[in-house]
Structure 1
Amino acid sequence: MRPRPPINGRGIFTGTGLIITCLTATLVALIFPIWSYADRSGTGVDVLNAETVSTKYGPLSGLDREFVTKVRLAGLWELPAGQQAQQKGTTQAVKTAGQHLIEGHMFLDERVRDVASKLGLELPNEPNEQQKQWLQTLTAAQGVPYDRDFANILRLAHGKVFSVVAQVRASTRNSLVRALADDANTTVLDHIKVLEATGYVDFDALAQDMAAGSTPPLTNSPAPPAPLADPNPAIPVTPATPVTPAASPSYPLPPPATSPPSPPDQ
């Protein structure tokens, strides 16, 4: 019987074997992340945004869903606020602003319900608590104080929404949300302009509240801004005349949204 040859340290434990083993481990480490996330692209199940889900209209982010909800909520309180302004406003400019709120949110509410249905999103059926308080404040006010509260509360609320619309429009990858943001941008800007045309918006208080991130005031609304002194009394200053709205019947609050159908299989 021949004796076995002595072990000489060759095989995978040699220097060459260790180098090959290390290179293989490195290659596996590089390939694994690509494999593990390759089938998740666009679904949101990734490190960038864990709240994003896939739809046939493009990825739908958490911000997108929040925006759709806010568009619906805005209509649930601003549309009745517009109806109230046409009844209680003491100036034609306030009544004009109310008419714009009605028309704008009738349009947006129809759009947002269609978008929510296609994306399988459930919408709220009533304003949130803060919005209910704003409506209560406007309901309790009368005369010029009502005009002042209406202009300042609605103007500050629209200013906050305006920045959200811009953020969504700039970042969304969903085609339905992008189109809704375009419509919301046009509508909100129109409302901002007609509210400012009432002459009751206190821009100093508005800038302070926006900078502080506060909500529209519920009490002690700022007084109408005092007219600027005319540096040349010989030249008369003619204020801008608001557009007179056409007569229209009373609009009902948009019907509550029913549970949308389940989204189609992707």
Structure 2
Amino acid sequence: MRSINGRGLFSGTGLIITGLAVTLVALVFPIWSYADRSGTGVDTLNATTVSTRFGPLSALDREFVTKVRLAGLWELPAGRQAAERGTTKAVRTAGEHLVEGHAFLDERVRDVAAQLGLELPNQPSEQQRAWLATLSSAHGRQYDTQFANILRGAHGKVFGLVAQVRANTRNSLVRDLADDANTTVLDHITVLEATGLVDFDALARDAASASAPPLTVSPAPPGPEDSPSPPVPATPSPAPSYSLPPAATGPPQEDDRREGGPKGADGPKGASSRS
């Protein structure tokens, strides 16, 4: 009897039972091994993500929305300035593209931020103000060259961020905004390069020597209360054509939502009804 049972393990029925057991173990093991994801990237992502009716909103999503607003705060004045002061038609055309593109994106980002309940900055960053000051102090051919290279360098850096957000966001509003930003940034890169003044060797050297830390994804975008520096003009010139985009209002209050939006909201044409 023992010999029969011993051979039974290797019989057809025994092999089938053994195969089923191995399959069951293979199916159960991944579930067990991935059950504890503490300390992983997924764990960090979930900890900094908030739920919205448009899909999960990650820290990188919020950072991206803020950066779209910041781009418009300095590139709109720079575009207006180039459209007036450029010494060549190509430079003036590039300035016009910047104005059109960022006027559109600024209205879009204000609308997205209002729907997601995010606050937006109303002043350019310190670096962006420095770029504007550099352009304002330049004249003639020097101005054209500075404009083309400063703006081309800035657009090249943001291009990768737009692609990263577009590829990974789970929020439909952020995804649509990234599509618009991608189209706009690529158009601006194209017209800036069409000036014939972009120093591609310098761009390559800057990229090779860049040692900046990775993008910091904050849990929330900086709002007016997070901007300790007092408001400063975008350029030394008080000319109205160099003014900043309209200030971004905060998320609508509950009473405002019931009444159809904040009263007296300041914003681009057509944006007040959605802010």
User: Which residue is equivalent to 1:243?
Assistant: none
Indicate if the aligned counterparts of 1:156 and 1:210 stay in contact, CA closer than 8 A.
Answer: no
| Pair 1:254 & 2:245 matched | yes
Aligned twin of 1:126? 123
Indicate the residue corresponding to 1:106 in structure 2.
Answer: 103
Q: Residue deviations 1:233-261, cap 9 Å, x none?
A: xxxxxxxxxxxxxxxx9585321001112
The percent identity for this pair of structures is 74
Where 1:58 maps in the other structure, the secondary structure is coil
CA shift for structure 1 position 87: 1.4
Give the structure 2 partner of residue 93 of structure 1: 90
The whole-number CA distance in structure 2 between the counterparts of 1:84 and 1:47 is: 43
Q: Paired residue for 2:198, among 198, 201, 211? A: 201
Q: Do the aligned partners of 2:81 and 2:242 also contact (CA within 8 Å) in 1?
A: no
Q: In structure 1, how many angstroms separate the alpha carbons of the residues matched to 2:253 and 2:172?
A: 19
Q: How many residues align?
A: 193
On the 8 A contact 2:74/2:124 being kept in 1, the answer is: yes
State whether residues 56 and 171 of structure 2, in contact with CA within 8 Å, keep that contact through their aligned partners in structure 1: yes
In the TM superposition, what is the alpha-carbon distance from 1:47 to its structure 2 partner?
4.6
* Cα shift at 1:211: 2.4
Q: How many Å separate the matches in 1 of 2:211 and 2:45?
A: 30
State the Cα RMSD in Å.
2.6
State how far apart, in whole Å, the 1-side matches of 2:181 and 2:156 are: 12
User: After the TM superposition, which residues 129-168 of structure 1 pair with which residues of structure 2 at under 5 Å, given as runs?
Assistant: 129-168=126-165
Q: Distance in 2 between matches of 1:49 and 1:174?
A: 14
Q: Which has the higher contact order (CA 8 A, sep 6+)?
A: 2
Residues 183 and 112 of structure 1, relative CA distance in 2, 3 Å threshold? same
Secondary structure of 1:163 counterpart = helix
Where does structure 1 lack aligned partners over 5 or more consecutive residues?
Answer: 1-29, 38-43, 216-248
Distance 1:115 1:52 in 2: 17
Q: Distance in 1 between matches of 2:154 and 2:242?
A: 22
Whether the 8 Å contact between 1:120 and 1:262 is mirrored in structure 2 is: no
Q: Does the residue aligned with 1:206 lie in a helix, a strand or coil?
A: helix
Which protein shows a greater Rg? Answer: 1
Q: Does 1:82 align with 2:73?
A: no
After superposition, the Cα gap between the structure-2 partners of 1:214 and 1:192, relative to the gap in structure 1 and judged at 3 Å, is farther
Q: Which runs of 5+ in 2 are unaligned?
A: 1-31, 213-239, 258-275
| Residues 214/153 of structure 1: CA separation in 2 closer, same or farther (3 Å cut) | farther
How far apart are the structure 2 equivalents of 1:95 and 1:214? 33
**TM-score, normalisation: structure 1:** 0.68
TM-score by length of 2: 0.66
Structure 1's consecutive aligned runs of 4 or more residues displaced over 6 angstroms after TM superposition are: none
